[in-house]
Amino acid sequence: MNSLTDIVFESFETAKGNVFGDLLTERTAQRPLRIGLVTVGFFEYWRMFPVTLKENVTADMTKVRERLAQELSGEELVWPGLIDTLDAAEAAGRMLAEQHVDFIIYAAGTYCPDYMAIQVLEHVRHVPVLLFNTQHDNKIDLKTNYENILRNSALIANLQLAATFRKMGWYPDLKVVVGTIGDEEAYREMGTYIRAFKAFRELRQTNIGVIGHVFRGMYDFEYDKTMIKGTLGPNLIAIQMDHLLERFREATAEEIDAVRQEAESRFNIVGLGADDVAKSARLAVALRNTLERFRLDGLTLLGQHYVEQKTGTTPYLANTLLHEESRYVVNTEGDVHGLIVMMLMHKLSGKVPAYAEWGEYDESLNALLMVHHGFADPSYARDRSAVKVNRSPEQWGLQGAGFGFEYTLKPGMVTIAHLIIDAEGYKMLILKGEALDVPENIPCEEITAVVRVEKPIKAFLRDLITEGFAHHCIIGYGDMTGELSHIADLMKIRKVIY
């Protein structure tokens, strides 16, 4: 086999092989974050209070490390131990730099002058910092002694250090969390921020393919590739329709039959012919092979009068199987911004969220009907046995009936979000709601959900319309509002939270 040095490189647009001059040969491997924990004390106090102060401060900082390790399970926590001299600070800084930490959590165990932390941070100046202002107890002991006051004097050190950062122009986006050593809410807050940082960081390394363009007339979805790369992070790669059609034509009978058999054995297919299922299976093979050939992490395509017209079917079987597998994220109508939100929610929750449109409202339920275009992870169904496959109700150049799913999403807490760029730049919609229990599927040949919001429904819709968000929305299970809020801050974009 030839080495890469022997290859005559071509662009992915024209090359016949799988190595290109303008795409990475290997996907960027996602790895755990390396989080440096910087904990400081002050050598001067050990000689003044030699019996228990250093022991207690060390015990406090050890508890911080242990609780953070639990909260950040799956990430790598790098702790140089308690730093109480300048030599220890220098050694810690070198260690953190050698370990290539991605993030710093700083906690003072007692008062410590700012030069100690600065000696550490000089080595990792490019790394963001979260300052944990902590103390042993959450009540003032009115019969305390000076040694115990010192044990709870981190606030002095943190105010001094934060003020010094301001004077030096360091860490303008410094994140601060306040809580005691045993404050569970404080650790959850730090965990929320770290998860947001990781998702934001990984998003900047992802490749999104675009086949076709935004559906005509959907100006709310229009985008600028440079703005997306510069503000939101992903790389956008235009994939020509010919690339997909080539994979469509080359799909083997064995590949198609494997997908067809999986669909027929797992789903209740109603009113579709064998040719409808076979074409859908062929497109599923083609989409997967396109994602893999060009090392894409996500893909959006224009179905209406484009992919559907040229293949004679919908991508909804492909999208459903891909989302269920939870490796790739895909959607339709050229909704790049929606796809980015879907990728973020996938990184935060481990599952690909549902992709829907706002629908009619119900004043008595204070809820909205959400309608989804025929694909989502079937595990979201209230009743897996009630998942039905039928024709596509919107016929956009299909030859045959198409292929689409029908079921209603299960009850539970959900997060709804989307992105849009307007005259003032990007902004993110963030909404917490409750998917209500709907006993029977709504028989509309689509995927549906009924979602209750907290704000009075008519006032909410008035604000949503006035604010000018896109007509699509992304629905993920669980509360991701905190993480998405932090991600909007990391992107330096506006956010609207309901």
Q: What pLDDT shows up at residue 5? A: 63
**Mean per-residue pLDDT, 91-102:** 98
What is the residue-averaged pLDDT of the chain? 94
For the chain, give every residue range classified as CATH 3.40.275.10: 204-497
- What angle, 0 to 180 degrees and rounded to 10, lies between the N-to-C axes of helices 274-293 and 316-325? 50
**Mean per-residue pLDDT, 325-349:** 96
Q: What is the pTM of this model?
A: 0.93
What is the architecture of the domain spanning 204-497? 3-Layer(aba) Sandwich (3.40)
Answer with the residue of higher pLDDT: 2 or 54.
Answer: 54
Under the banding of pLDDT at 50, 70 and 90, the label for residue 273 is very high
Q: What pLDDT shows up at residue 19? A: 86
Q: How large a percentage of the chain has pLDDT more than 90? A: 85
Query: Collapsing DSSP states into helix, strand and coil, what is residue 105?
Result: strand
Q: How large a percentage of the chain has pLDDT more than 70? A: 99
Whether the pLDDT of residue 120 is over 80: the answer is yes
Q: What pLDDT shows up at residue 28? A: 77
Joined together, the tokens standing for residue 96 give: 């953190």
Joined together, the tokens standing for residue 354 give: 């549902």
Under the banding of pLDDT at 50, 70 and 90, the label for residue 459 is very high
Q: What pLDDT shows up at residue 296? A: 96
Whether the pLDDT of residue 2 is over 80: the answer is no
Task: Check residue 228 and report its DSSP letter.
Answer: I
Phi, psi of 300 (to 5 degrees): -120, 145
Phi, psi of 354 (to 5 degrees): -85, 155
Whether the pLDDT of residue 336 is over 80: the answer is yes
The residue type found at 353 is: P
Query: Collapsing DSSP states into helix, strand and coil, what is residue 477?
Result: strand
Q: What pLDDT shows up at residue 393? A: 85
- What angle, 0 to 180 degrees and rounded to 10, lies between the N-to-C axes of helices 336-349 and 481-491? 120
Under the banding of pLDDT at 50, 70 and 90, the label for residue 464 is very high
Q: What pLDDT shows up at residue 215? A: 82
For the chain, the farthest-separated pair of C-alpha atoms sits apart, in whole angstroms, at: 86
Cβ(210)–Cβ(300) under 8 Å?
yes
Answer with the residue of higher pLDDT: 463 or 12.
Answer: 463
Query: What string of DSSP letters covers 294-360?
Result: TT-SEEEE-IIIIIHHHHSS-SHHHHHHHHHHTS-EEEETT-HHHHHHHHHHHHHHSSPPEEEEEEE
Q: What pLDDT shows up at residue 21? A: 84
Under the banding of pLDDT at 50, 70 and 90, the label for residue 7 is confident
Whether the pLDDT of residue 400 is over 80: the answer is yes
Q: What pLDDT shows up at residue 13? A: 83
Query: What string of DSSP letters covers 406-464?
Result: EEEBPPEEEEEEEEEEETTEEEEEEEEEEE---SS--SSSSEEEEEEESS-HHHHHHHH
Query: Collapsing DSSP states into helix, strand and coil, what is residue 14?
Result: coil
**Mean per-residue pLDDT, 371-383:** 89
Under the banding of pLDDT at 50, 70 and 90, the label for residue 226 is very high
CATH of region 34-202:
3.40.50.10940
The residue type found at 364 is: S
Q: pLDDT by residue (tens digit) across 126-175? A: 999 999 999 998 999 999 999 999 999 999 999 999 999 999 999 999 99
Q: What pLDDT shows up at residue 3? A: 59
Whether the pLDDT of residue 485 is over 60: the answer is yes
For the chain, give every residue range classified as CATH 3.40.50.10940: 34-202
Whether the pLDDT of residue 308 is over 80: the answer is yes
For the ranges 104-118, 125-139, 194-208, 296-310, the lowest mean pLDDT is seen at: 296-310
